[in-house]
Amino acid sequence: MRTYHTDDEAGTEAVGAEVALTAAAGTVIGLSGPLGAGKTVFVRGALRALGGNPMDVRSPTFTLMNLYAADLPVYHFDLYRLARGAELDGIGFHEFARGDGITIVEWADRFPDVTPEVTLWVRIGFDGSESGRSIRISDVPFPDTPGS
């Protein structure tokens, strides 16, 4: 596990980019952390590093998944509004996650069925100050992750 500290949005984008550069086809990045922590900001930095346009990144609030064109297809899920884990199949989550794109999932720690699909865990937390964040990266689920 490693930990980064960022002082602003650009810093979190840079960590997203650095992490994304280690991603290969089939990587599933699971993001967690409270509302407004910076999960979507992280995705923006990741998409830039993956050869996509960071301006494309929007929270997929109503669609639950956004597809971005990049060197590999990038599937951006946000599970905040998903009511039940059983709906993951209906939105194609498992199919996308097992495909050859890069999958990035906000609120990856909401449903135990997501846990086995995730290959890299990222948790963003508030740091005390308004724009300070801690970002923890781990190959294994954080201990309180459901289904781990």
- Binding-residue pattern over the window 91 to 110 for Mg ion, x denoting contact by CB under 5 A: ---------------x----
72, 102 in Cβ contact below 8 A? yes
Residue 118's Cβ-count burial label (10 Å; 0-12, 13-18, 19+) is: buried
Which residues, 6 or more positions from 135, have their beta carbon under 8 angstroms from its beta carbon?
Answer: 3, 4, 5, 6, 12, 15, 42, 122, 123, 124, 125
If the CB atoms of residues 25 and 63 are measured against ligand ATP, the closer one turns out to be 63
Contact string 70-109 vs ligand ATP (x = CB under 6 A): ----------x-------------------------x---
Q: How far apart are CA 72 and CA 70, in angstroms?
A: 5
Which is closer to Mg ion, CB of 10 or CB of 25? Answer: 10
The radius of gyration of the chain from alpha carbons, rounded to an integer in Å, stands at 14
Which of 24, 35, 55, 83 is the binder for ligand ATP (CB under 6 A)?
35
42-61: which residues touch ligand ATP (CB under 6 A)? Answer: 59
For the CB of residue 92, give the shortest distance to ligand ATP in the complex, in Å: 20
Strand partners, 121: 30, 138
Nearer to Mg ion by C-beta: 59 or 119? Answer: 59
> Where do contacts with ligand ATP occur on this chain (CB under 6 A)?
6, 8-9, 11-12, 33, 35-41, 59, 80, 106, 131, 133
